[in-house]
Homo-oligomer: A and B are copies of this chain.
Amino acid sequence: MEKIFTLDQIKQVLPQIDPIEAIEQGFVAYSQGRVVVPPVGEMIFDHPPGDVHIKYGFIKNDDYYVIKIASGFYENVKLKLPSNNGMMLLFDRKTGQLTAVLLDEGYLTDVRTAAAGAVAAKYLAPKKVQRIGIFGAGIQGRLQLQYLIPEIDCHDVIVWSRSQKTLDNYKKTTEHFGLNIQTTLDARAVAASCNLIVTATPAQRPLISADHIQKGTHITAIGSDTPEKIELDPALLQKADLVVADSIEQSLLRGEIYQAIKAGCLHRDNLLELGNVIADKQLQRKSDDQITIADLTGVAVQDIQISKAVYKALTA
């Protein structure tokens, strides 16, 4: 059973991999049309409610194809089980033989999402970041910070959440990063002092209004991956100089971009795709005054890339 790897084994090798590079290359391949990602498979349950998604695909001429199974059962808390769960399966693209089962319990999805946030900041943040603002003090809010830090030269952070208890816990679990971490219940305090902001909440109403954002700010919106969720004022996308999607196709159906287009604040012709931004300097931020927004809804190529990188480290 040398093909099966547990979450513990996966966590052990994570420090050895460079997810930023893996995810970057994935986005570039995706925007160049070199990734095959069929429609997501879905099962919806009630009593108790839950949903299961099967995401799968491959990069053309690559060695593997990847199938990810992810679930969310929100009443699991009652049973003291995690709501989210998942696994990633790697197969040999030439023979169909199973290469590896990564029993990551959904953790690699969190990691690849955080790495995508860091990639967006790497290519879109202003040169000098005064302070990093994080909306959301959950696991994704923590991981976003963890993966941002090596890419961004800034040690001042302010974190917003609705609950002081969550904020205290956030501070406790991130203080070993060696940062100056402030917390706040006031969203405006983040907008007023930060020029790099990451939103990682399940909000269904905008957290920040367009007026509060300073010139020269980059915002990465992570939280909304459905047609219902929204973190940014649609007028903010109208105000932005650059609006970048991880997948333009997907962003037309869900997330901030979907919401802003629906509100008449944005036209699809004005969208850029992250893989193209990475590959072409001309598409990146042009001055320290521009407002840039990256809307990340999550693309299967991230799963492909993270699972390959982890598997390589596990068998090195």
- Measured CB to CB, the residues of A under 8 A from B are 1, 4, 6, 36, 38-39, 41-43, 45, 48, 50, 52, 54, 56-58, 65, 67, 69, 71-73, 76, 79, 81, 85, 87, 89, 91, 93-98, 101, 103
Q: How many copies does the complex hold?
A: 2
- Distance A39 CA – B52 CA, assembled complex (angstroms): 14
Residue ID in chain B nearest A61 by CB atoms: B47
- Distance A87 CA – B42 CA, assembled complex (angstroms): 19
Give the residues in chain B near A1, CB-CB below 8 Å: 1, 4, 6
Residue in B50, B65, B79, B85 whose beta carbon sits within 8 Å of that of A52 in the complex: B65
Give the residues in chain B near A56, CB-CB below 8 Å: 41, 43, 54
Is there contact, CB below 8 Å, between B57 and A54? no
- Distance A56 CA – B48 CA, assembled complex (angstroms): 19
List 11 interface pairs A-B (beta carbons < 8 Å), by A numbering: A36-B43, A41-B41, A41-B56, A43-B65, A45-B93, A50-B94, A67-B69, A79-B95, A85-B95, A85-B96, A85-B98
Give the residues in chain B near A43, CB-CB below 8 Å: 36, 38, 56-58, 65
- Distance A52 CA – B54 CA, assembled complex (angstroms): 14
Is there contact, CB below 8 Å, between B96 and A67? no
Residue ID in chain B nearest A50 by CB atoms: B96
- Distance A94 CA – B75 CA, assembled complex (angstroms): 9
